[in-house]
Amino acid sequence: MIEELFEEIDRLYPEMIKMRRYLHQHPELSFEEHETAAFIADFYEKIDVPYQKNVGGNGLVATITGAKPGKNIALRADFDGLPIQDAKDVSYKSKHEGVMHACGHDGHTTTLLTVAKVFKQFQEQLKGSITFIHQHAEEVAPGGAKPMIEAGVLENVDYVYGTHLWTNTPYGVIQTARGNFMAAADKFTLTIDGVGGHGGIPHQTKDPIVIGAQVIANLQQIISRRIDPLSTAVLSIGTFHAGNAYNVIPSAATMTGTVRTFDPKLQDYMMEEMEKIIKGTCDSYGASYQFDYAKGYPAVENHAEEAELIIEAAKQIDGVEHADLVEPSMTGEDFSYYLKDKPGAFFFTGAQIADNFVPHHHPNFDFDERAMVLAAKTLIKVTLLSQDRNKLKLDSNLLKN
C-alpha cells in the first residue's frame, strides 16, 4: 500500500502547488484566520471527511477512521501568517497588504490536506485512525496549540507528529533530534525612566539611552559569566527606542528582547539575574525602570523513540538524501505543548531553494515546493510505522522489511 500512497502524492503534486500558492496569496494573521479556516473546512467537505471547526479558537480537527483496529495517530499543521509585507516578485505574491506567509505555514497546510486526501482514498486498508490537527495562531503567544489541546484534540491519541518546512536546510534532508529540538522562547520589555533635558547640558539629566546601553552590555555578561558554558541560553535585544530629536536627551527609553533556553531552571535563573542586573544598573544612575518578562512556548522536547522512527521512515523515501539526528535549534514552536501531553516528535523538512537561501520571517521568504512531497511522504510513512509499534523495535533492519 505504501507505494500506492506515495504514487498518489506524486500525482497530486501539481494540485499541491496550486493550493499552496492560493494560500500564499491569502494569508491571515494569528487569531484572525477565518477565511483560511473556511478553506480547510471546505476541503474536508469535498473529500467527505468529518471535521470539527472553531476548536480552541479558529482551529479545525478532522478524523479518518480505518476499517481495521489500531492506534490513533495525530498529525498537525499550522496555518497563520505574519505581519510582513511580501516583497517577492512572483505571480503568487500575497494579496493582503502587510501580511504574508513568511514561515511556510501555507506549505504545512497544503501538505496535511494532501495527506488526508490520499489516506481517505485508502481508508478501507488503514488500521486505527488518523487525526488531522489544523492549528491556528502558532506565531503569537499564547498560541493555538494549548487551547486546542484543552478543547480535547489529543483525547484518545496515541502518538503525535508534525513537521516544519525549513529553509535553513537543503531540499532532500530530514532532520530531528532526540529530546531537546527547539527552545523555549520568552519575551521581555524594559522601560528605563530617567530625566530628560538639553543635549548640550547632559549633567542635568539622567540619560536613559546611556543607562540602557549599559544595561545591554551588562545583560550579555549573564551568558558569558554567570551560567555554565556547557548550558545553553540566548539573550538578544531586538528593539531599542528613545527620543525624537537630535539635541534632546529623552526622559525614557524602551527595549524589547528574547531569551531562549531548554532547561526550565535555567529559564527561571535568567529571569532572576536579568532583574538583578537591571535594578543594579538603574540604581547606580538614579533611574527607575519597569521590567516585564513573559514566558513563551516551552521547549520542543521530542520523545526519543518517535524521533528515531522519523529518521528510519525518512531513510526509506526516494528523494530523501540525508535523514539525520541534529543539534537543537534556538527557534521556538508551540508544538511543544502536544509533546508534553502525548509521545511524538517534530522534524524539519529541508526546503531551501538551491543557491537562493532566504531566512524565515523575511519579506522575500519562499521555499522549494518539492519539499511538500517529502514532508507528506514522511508523515505517511511515520503514521503507518506507528501502527506497528508493537512489532517494531526501531531496528533499521526490521523497519526495512
Q: Which residues are catalytic?
A: 80, 138
Residue 241 marked as a ligand binder: no
Residue 361 marked as a ligand binder: yes
Cα gap 70→372, rounded to integer Å: 27
Cα gap 10→366, rounded to integer Å: 21
Report yes or no: 331 and 181 within 8 Å, Cβ to Cβ: no
Report yes or no: 159 and 387 within 8 Å, Cβ to Cβ: no
- Cell numbers placing 386: 506507528
Cβ-proximal residues to 401 (8 Å cutoff; 6+ apart), any chain? none
Residue 134 marked as a ligand binder: no
Residue 136 marked as a ligand binder: no
Looking at residue 213, its amino acid is A
Residue 24 marked as a ligand binder: no
Q: Which residues are annotated as a binding site?
A: 103, 105, 139, 164, 361
Which residues line the annotated binding site for Mn(2+)?
103, 105, 139, 164, 361
